[in-house]
Structure 1
């Protein structure tokens, strides 16, 4: 998976479901995509947050992009929106460590954020960067994924539902690989006294739920 800024619960359910997780960092950076953006709760509905990036052009790989300097501003936004949430005191120090880190490479910045979040959620698969794996880097798309699977010696590749249109079961079968997709189940919890807003950043899940309840939510998925 490409690294994302505090992705939604389903992303971490995927990490929970696998033995090996690969940060897909040597692919094209998508400008105005979701690598450095997400949605959080606000009293007026969902609110977008954006991590400032530098050098994110159409010709850049994700691991060539740099992080800007709006970490403190993002923290103030998160504090404003979540300071009265039940688990704010537990989660805000985690967000401070992540957003105030000195790392300026986007991939390593997001990698740290994902690992710190996984540590809190007690999720610990083997962890790799695709750029560090021996593979045919002239390949693209599905063929590049198949090459990564071969390098790691796996027998099953699991992706999120959005990958259904990208990958072909027969192609994987020809390589003696099973292609599966995780399907998150609907999860709902109390967000102050407002109507529930689904599929927000993992920040929202952690702010409103205990560590134990977050662990239960991580199991709310099917694989097929």
Structure 2
């Protein structure tokens, strides 16, 4: 899966369902996608934040796409976080986690920053997942057709099963993967509501929102609230 900055819960469901999770960092950057943006809850509504990209282009790989988190942007971002979550029960710990991700990162790639945001969440939760990057593990498969590359990477790792997000049903078929010796499943997230500021639950927000309102054990429980189809 492409690395996303502080992604939503379904992304973590995909990680938890996997023995090995591959950051797909050597595919083209998607403009106006979710790689460099997400949503938090602000004034009981979903509020989108965006990390600024330097010379954004869909002709550049994610691993080569640079961000520019200057001091002005960081000040504005953390001010918004404070406005949104200052009374949340786990505000201090979550802000410290985010600060640790952004520290000394005025200019970096969106890939390294997004991956670090996910790694820091797991470090905070004291979980050790198995992460690798496609650019490091299987650069020779670049240029293959989309499904074929996924199949080749899965086989190279020694597995016979591949898991994708539910939206992948529009791109991949179980029959095609089965024909090539790979079982294909999709993640379906189950009910994952939790107490936010109001009684109206805002779904599909960044992991930031979950960490603000849930302790480590409750977050781990939410991480496993999915099924495979």
TM-score (norm 1): 0.95
Stretch deviating more after TM superposition (135-144 or 86-95): 135-144
Aligned length: 224
Cα deviation digits, residues 138-176 of structure 1 (max 9, x gap): 213111111211221211101111111111212211222
In the alignment, is the contact (CA less than 8 A) between 1:205 and 1:214 conserved in 2? yes
CA shift for structure 1 position 58: 2.2
CA shift for structure 1 position 189: 1.3
Change in CA separation of 1:138 and 1:117 when aligned onto 2, cut-off 3 Å: same
CA shift for structure 1 position 121: 3.0
The one of 97, 101, 114 equivalent to 2:100 is: 97
Runs of 4 or more consecutive aligned structure 1 residues displaced over 3 Å after TM superposition: none
1:106 equivalent in structure 2: 110
Stretch deviating more after TM superposition (1-10 or 190-199): 190-199
1:115 equivalent in structure 2: 119
User: Are residue 15 (structure 1) and residue 7 (structure 2) matched?
Assistant: no
User: Are residue 38 (structure 1) and residue 38 (structure 2) matched?
Assistant: yes
**Ranges in structure 1 where 5+ consecutive residues have no aligned partner:** none
User: Are residue 130 (structure 1) and residue 134 (structure 2) matched?
Assistant: yes
Cα deviation digits, residues 165-205 of structure 1 (max 9, x gap): 11121221122211011110011111113411111111101
Root-mean-square deviation (CA, aligned residues, Å) is: 1.4
SS in 2 for 1:41: strand
**Ranges in structure 2 where 5+ consecutive residues have no aligned partner:** none
CA shift for structure 1 position 44: 4.8
The one of 145, 153, 156 equivalent to 1:148 is: 153
